[in-house]
Structure 1
Amino acid sequence: MTRLCTAITALLLSVGLTPAHAADAYPAKPITIIYPYAPGSASDTMTRLLAEAMSKRLGQPVIVDGKPGAGGSIATEHVVRAAPDGYTLLLSASGTIAVNPHIYKLRYNPVEDLAQISIAVEVPFVFVVGKQFPAQDYAAFKALSATKPGGLSSANAGLGTQAHLTQAAFAKLAGVNLSILGYKGAAPAVNDILGGHVDSMMDNAASQIPYVTSGKTTALFVTSDYRFDGYPQVPTAKELGITGLVPTGWFGLAAPKDTPPAVIEKIQTVLVASLKDAEMQRKLKELGWVIVGNTSQQALERARTDYALLGQVARDIDLKPN
């Protein structure tokens, strides 16, 4: 029996299954970050910046591989099914982790079937109106909405997106009368705001920086608990008495759930170190990102909280998985 135990222990050691060995030997080959969306966006740029910085610290290439489709669900399932060895990671997002389970019939649970490594960055949503709209502050907007039985028109980048759910939650929590319009992407919605064809929009705060700062749109509030650096004069929802919103959208890294904890810890440490680099911070802030860099446990808790809150909103508006 003793010989058998000794042989098994030797075998485990030889294939590197002890946590300490897993962390020491990792990475021994290139790492792939699966990116869940189409290329060319700010989140794509952010992912590639992080991959380059992490590669320098890990001593191995970190490759970004795009697998868009189904709102990020295709990429997410790919990582859920991948070997739990730390070599296939997911650019996780609040949309893929906390929203998609409520709008798609998934064959996995993205909250529980992945190991959250860290939330790298976040960005609030912003509620804007066009410069020609008669109500240019929140109080006036709310008062005007009360006079419109059909509601003031309000655009988003697509039904079932986090912007849509945040918009619906705002309408309910604030008692504002909105007629919500889901567009096929943010660009046509922004065009209609600028052209005066729609009254308002819930959008990514970073995307609205050029329009708000140039006066083409007016920001009534941001959803975060803090004022947004892109336009710090704009109040938060909480300052206006609106509470209960999911405060931001976020992006981070996740791995298959059975990835060794020591490997998760090593990736998290390298990611956070990369985020603390002064040049990295400058580049990310230029893109409008708010840097987070939290622990794996904090990332998991945030995923669970947002999943529950956004799920309740989806049920409130009778949004069913399809």
Structure 2
Amino acid sequence: MTINRRELLIAFALGSVAGGLCAAESYPSKPITIVYPYAGGSASDTLTRQFGEILSKALGQPVVVESRPGAGGSMALEQVTRAPADGHTLVLTASGTMSVNPHIYNLKYKPVEDLAPIAILVDIPFIAVSNLSSPAKNLKEFIAVAKARPGTLSFGNAGTGTQAHLTQVMFLKAAGITANIIPYKGGAPMTTDLLGGHVDAAFDNAAAQVANVHAGRVRPLFVTTQTRSPTLPDVPTADEAGLPGFVASGWFGLAAPKGTPLPIIEKLNRIVVAAMRDSATRRKLLEAGWMPVGSSPEEAAARARADLVRFGAIVSQLGLKPN
């Protein structure tokens, strides 16, 4: 009996599906690691640990969050692309690490191609804040001070190549001003310097600064969303504060190494989506300053690809060169 090529392909496909289903049924067989691409102690670290707890409860295995900062998150993603594709190593992804970094760094991998998206977890509003000793009490005053002292205002961000950094550069260009941009290795050390008065202002994701704004430890200048944040209703949008039409947001997601069996990806996605439908989880995320999403893997992949094109154009327009 002879078997033609079509029959071989069908048999191979059926075998792959069966193998993937078996892998999903036995998954997870050991603790799971979520690699966190920034310095610990920030709002996105808390977000990662929150979803680690959700996954651990649903899967019945410990979930460990491993911080690996460096190169705007690129080092962490590279580590995960080399990990076994069995669902036991995941990574927190972001619009910055997936779609900005390929235009900023000379990477040895392609994030959009070498990682398998699980879901977009949340959308990220950005915020500009100044320290309490800064002479700029609002956006218009910040612009006025920057114009009077070109390039001297110190303006921090959580790392070169992050979307906060790129959006910060876009803001300066839109406002027609210059500043001394200071990249940090994560939001936590940046905030420490901001609160200590060592940096005049900072550009960060809103969730990272919610507690400081509410406690009066920093002065909020504006948020970058089209409408005001439900968590920070008293903080104006950039448009309201004096920079018409300036809108920007990012996202955080979860991904696994390329080649992870689809049934495992779908299993993880179902847990994330179910969590986003839980009113307590949604309330906790909103109170922290995040905008809950819970996308499908396909939607996450499509958004990363679209952002890759969009940010490529922006990086080119701004004249930023890969490091």
TM-score by length of 1: 0.81
Spell out, residue by residue over 1:238-279, the C-alpha distance to the aligned partner (whole angstroms, 9 max, x if none): 44444465413x322112333344443332122110232233
Pairwise CA distance, 1:26: 5.6
CA distance in 2, matches of 1:232, 1:251: 22
Does the CA contact (< 8 Å) of 1:31 and 1:86 recur in 2? no
Pairwise CA distance, 1:126: 0.8
CA distance in 1, matches of 2:309, 2:177: 23
CA distance in 1, matches of 2:180, 2:228: 27
Aligned residues, how many? 319
2:130 corresponds in structure 1 to 129
Spell out, residue by residue over 1:173-230, the C-alpha distance to the aligned partner (whole angstroms, 9 max, x if none): 2323433233455455445544555432212322222332233322121122332233
2:222 corresponds in structure 1 to 221
CA distance in 1, matches of 2:91, 2:79: 9
CA distance in 2, matches of 1:115, 1:190: 32
CA distance in 2, matches of 1:265, 1:179: 45
Does the CA contact (< 8 Å) of 1:31 and 1:88 recur in 2? no
CA distance in 2, matches of 1:82, 1:108: 13
Distance 1:142 1:32, change over 3 A: same
Does the CA contact (< 8 Å) of 2:40 and 2:67 recur in 1? no
- SS in structure 2 opposite 1:299? helix
- SS in structure 1 opposite 2:208? coil
Distance 1:16 1:302, change over 3 A: closer
1:299 aligns with 2:303: no
- SS in structure 1 opposite 2:237? coil
Spell out, residue by residue over 1:61-115, the C-alpha distance to the aligned partner (whole angstroms, 9 max, x if none): 2522526143433332233234444443322223321233233321110012222
1:253 aligns with 2:254: yes
Pairwise CA distance, 1:120: 0.9
2:36 corresponds in structure 1 to 36
1:171 aligns with 2:159: no
Distance 1:254 1:132, change over 3 A: same
CA distance in 2, matches of 1:192, 1:8: 59
- SS in structure 1 opposite 2:100? helix
1:268 aligns with 2:269: yes
Does the CA contact (< 8 Å) of 1:54 and 1:274 recur in 2? no
Spell out, residue by residue over 1:19-75, the C-alpha distance to the aligned partner (whole angstroms, 9 max, x if none): 8835863636246243133444433333233233234334x4252252614343333
Distance 1:28 1:12, change over 3 A: farther
CA distance in 1, matches of 2:286, 2:3: 59
Consecutive unaligned residues in structure 2, runs of 5 or more: none
Give the number of the structure whose residues are more often helix, by fraction: 2
1:73 aligns with 2:74: yes
Give the aligned CA root-mean-square deviation in angstroms: 3.4
Bigger mean CA deviation after superposition, 170-179 or 146-155:
146-155
Consecutive unaligned residues in structure 1, runs of 5 or more: none
